[in-house]
Amino acid sequence: MLKRMCTAKIANAYITKAELHYEGSCGIDAGVLEASGILPYEMVLIANVTNGRRFETYTIPEPAGSGAFCLYGGAAHMGAPGDEIIIMAYGYLNEGEVAKFKAPKVVRLAAKNKLP
Active site residues: 25, 58
Domain-embedded: residue 82: yes
Q: Give the CATH number of the domain where residue 65 resides.
A: 2.40.40.20
Domain-embedded: residue 115: no
pLDDT tens string, the chain, 116 residues long: the values are: 999 999 999 999 999 999 999 988 999 999 999 999 999 999 999 999 999 999 999 999 999 999 999 999 999 999 999 999 999 999 999 999 999 999 999 999 999 999 99
Structural domain total, the chain: 1
Domain-embedded: residue 116: no
Which helix or strand (DSSP H or E) is residue 80 part of?
none
Three state DSSP letters for 19-69:
ECCCCCEEEEEHHHHHHHCCCCCCEEEEEECCCCCEEEEEEEEECCCCCCE
For the whole model, what pTM was predicted?
Answer: 0.95
Best CA proximity match to 60, nearest among 52, 51, 69: 69
- Host domain of residue 53: 3-95+104-110
